[in-house]
Amino acid sequence: MSLVIGLTGGIASGKSTISQMFTASDIPVIDADVIAREVVEPGEASYQQVVDLFGEDIVRADGTIDRPKLGSIVFSNEEKREQLNQIVHPAVRKRMLKKKEDYINQGEKCVVLDIPLLFESKLTSLADKTLVVFVDENTQLKRLMERNQLSEQEAMDRITSQMALAEKARLADAVIDNNGTIEASKAQFTDLLKKWEVIK
């Protein structure tokens, strides 16, 4: 039996750090963000749907979609964001499930689904266990402002557009508290893999 872990967090919570710990432990990680970029590359069915919906203005000279331009449209327009999600999400889900099946068939003991909107998109049924990478809001705000060079208001807007991390932590099977050092997070990570019998 393979254990499928749904990994999530919030913006600037350090989810990618924990994701890298899985990769370093030779546990395959299927990253929803990476797949979301793949499904809108030229030649993919979703690519044409997105261009038809948003127009040629979002296409760069090389034929690829200008993601920042598309992002600025959907960030400020909920209806457009919903339309984009209706194109991209099913394509991402389909590809993630295919990869998950492939890894399970190859006999992998554990597979990680790295999904930022795991709870918001109601995708917890894809995993056996859910894991949230948690930081308190002040830490999240500070890290996001530093990382993306945002004002406090801009950073807060992005944080509040997602489900609160405290709420995700309540819903999850396990939580890694990422407020401290990377060593502290690594220790929690190792303990959890032992508890879930992924490692001895």
Which amino acids are annotated as binding site for ATP, given as ranges? 12-17
Do residues 69 and 58 make contact, with C-beta atoms less than 8 angstroms apart? yes
Q: Is 155 exposed, middle or buried (0-12, 13-18, 19+ CB in 10 A)?
A: buried
- Structure-block tokens of residue 39: 């499904």
18 CB-near residues (< 8 Å, 6+ apart): 7, 9, 131, 133, 176, 178, 185, 189
Annotated binding residues, as ranges?
12-17
Looking at residue 173, the DSSP 8-state letter turns out to be S
What proportions of the chain, in percent to the nearest 5, are helix, strand and coil? 55, 15, 30
The whole-angstrom separation of Cα 155 and Cα 149 is: 9
CA–centroid distance for 108 within its chain:
21
